[in-house]
A and B are shown apart, each in its own frame.
Chain A
Amino acid sequence: MSYYDIDAILTEAERVPATFNHTIPLLGYLDNSPSLKAGTTVPLPLWLAEMLALASAGPSQQHSQESTSFTSLTLPSSLSTSVSQALKADPRAVALRDQSAHFYALGVRMLDLFEEPELGDVLRRTFVTRAGDVVMHARKAGSGTDDALGVGAQGEEFLRGLEEWERQLFRRAHDGAKGRREWMDGVKN
């Protein structure tokens, strides 16, 4: 992953819910209150939330014995149980882009932070199942038979729901098919 990788930067800007373990004065504007109370959940960008969750901040008020971090993280709504249940039922039916434009990248980052082997399984199965469809549409698109995209209304709906990794895959598959088609058209000369 490069420092200037725009997708990595945008992934780190995704919001994840972080619950504060300490009461923090002067940060209340995050929650529209005079001071940020312990136990408040605020959506923070991943790069900030991760730092706060990993850094140690001394003993907390709630559990005065052990030293805790500033915040504790939970899975973002795009990776919640309901989404993973829907993906388990039918990976094609979910518009991943509505959940997060960097769904898989975010999922991989969260898997690094959380011990969730089942979520990893769901992500992998979703990715390969959808990849099959992405490639099929990429091969058909632009061959110019029935309609403009050549994928039909349902296919268009599906393609609109692709997130970034899948869009990249679509582009690569389409480039391959296009190269082959152009060669076939030019073979007569």
Chain B
Amino acid sequence: MALPLPPGLLPSEVNFLCEMELVTVVPRQRLDPIELLSGKTPALRPPYRADIPLWLALLLKKQRRANIVPPPWLHPSSLGEIVHHETHVDPGAFSAPPPVPSRADPSNPGTARVPVYGDAAMTLSPPFVPSNTSSAPANLLPYHWFEMSEVLLAHAGDDIPASGEVRRLVRDLQEVRAAKMREGMVSLGSGGGVTNLKGVGGMELAEGRGFILGVVDGVRRIGAGAEVSRREEEEEQELHGRAGGGRGDEEEDEEDDDDDEDMGF
């Protein structure tokens, strides 16, 4: 009997991953470093800010021992900017994720640094990129934007400036992006058969995974027969090409182009 769970992560599991993200807090009490598997948390010394994992920040916030500093992108002006970008500037794509840390090697221009295991600068993906701390860039949505904003609005609403407006903008953004994801699926049938999911957040993927896979699988099944006959044709042509002692390169290139268009999905 198969596991009665759909493929992919459940929303609660995405939320769990999101709780590993670092957030900036302003502590109200001192707290010594805690030894964790991922290393030591920084010592909390009021009034100095520190970056700690979200789950710990939420715990301290509930105990009124710290205030959470919302990340810069969770500000009404930043969110308004992103909504404007998504609806007017670039309505075809999702807003870009924050840039990955530079991998350039300053001592040897033109080359990348050699990755060293455990090097903090070499962690390139969430939740290890500090994209939710107070030093994160504004106007760029990190991977866990939806979970982070929901959790912060629910538990630390009093720390977020203009939380009512932020809540409204997050809802707007969610609707805009869900509509975009649907349009992306529809374009699978007509355009080049590709859709761009760059910049889509974790929770959006968890929600949309079922139907995205369903649509892609349906398109694949409908096109399977045509694909098989196309491949056979290609193989036959290749055989003929070899038997005929090869043709001009230009001619072959042209044929390749035609085939690509014929594929149509």
Contacts and interface: CB of A to CB of B under 8 A. Distances in A.
Q: Determine if chain A interacts with chain B.
A: yes
Interface of A: 104, 107-108, 111-112, 115, 117, 120-121, 123-125, 127-129, 131-132, 135-136, 138-139, 165, 168-169, 172-173, 175-177, 179-180, 182-184, 187-188
B28 to A, nearest CB: 23
Given A132-B183, A187-B151, A180 B11 contact: yes
B209 interface: yes
Contacts of A115: 229
B6 A128 contact: no
27 contacts: A104-B221, A104-B222, A108-B221, A108-B225, A112-B225, A123-B222, A124-B222, A128-B185, A128-B188, A128-B215, A128-B219, A129-B189, A131-B211, A131-B218, A132-B182, A132-B183, A135-B211, A165-B218, A176-B206, A179-B11, A179-B207, A180-B11, A180-B203, A180-B207, A182-B11, A183-B15, A187-B15
Contact of A132 (B151, B186, B206, B219): B186
Interface in B130-159: 150-151, 154-155
Majority secondary structure of chain A interface residues (helix, strand, loop or mixed):
helix
B76 to A, nearest CB: 21
Given A128-B218, A176-B207, 19 more contacts: A104-B218, A104-B222, A111-B226, A120-B225, A120-B226, A124-B222, A125-B190, A128-B185, A131-B186, A131-B215, A136-B182, A169-B211, A169-B214, A172-B6, A175-B6, A177-B207, A179-B206, A183-B203, A187-B15
A176 B214 CA distance: 12
B214 A173 contact: yes
B265 interface: yes
B215 A169 contact: yes
Q: What range describes how many residues of B lie at the interface?
A: 35 or more
B119 to A, nearest CB: 34
Interface of B: 6, 10-12, 15, 150-151, 154-155, 178, 182-183, 185-190, 203, 206-211, 213-215, 218-219, 221-226, 229, 264-265
Nearest to A131: B215
Contacts of B225: 108, 111-112, 120
Majority secondary structure of chain B interface residues (helix, strand, loop or mixed):
helix
Given A125-B190, A132-B186, A107 B207 contact: no
B11 A127 contact: no
A104 to B, nearest CB: 6
B190 A127 contact: no
A173 to B, nearest CB: 4
A125 B178 contact: no
A142 B262 CA distance: 41
A180 B206 contact: yes
A168 B189 CA distance: 19
Contacts of A121: 264
B227 to A, nearest CB: 10
A166 B226 CA distance: 22
B209 A176 contact: yes
Nearest to A172: B210
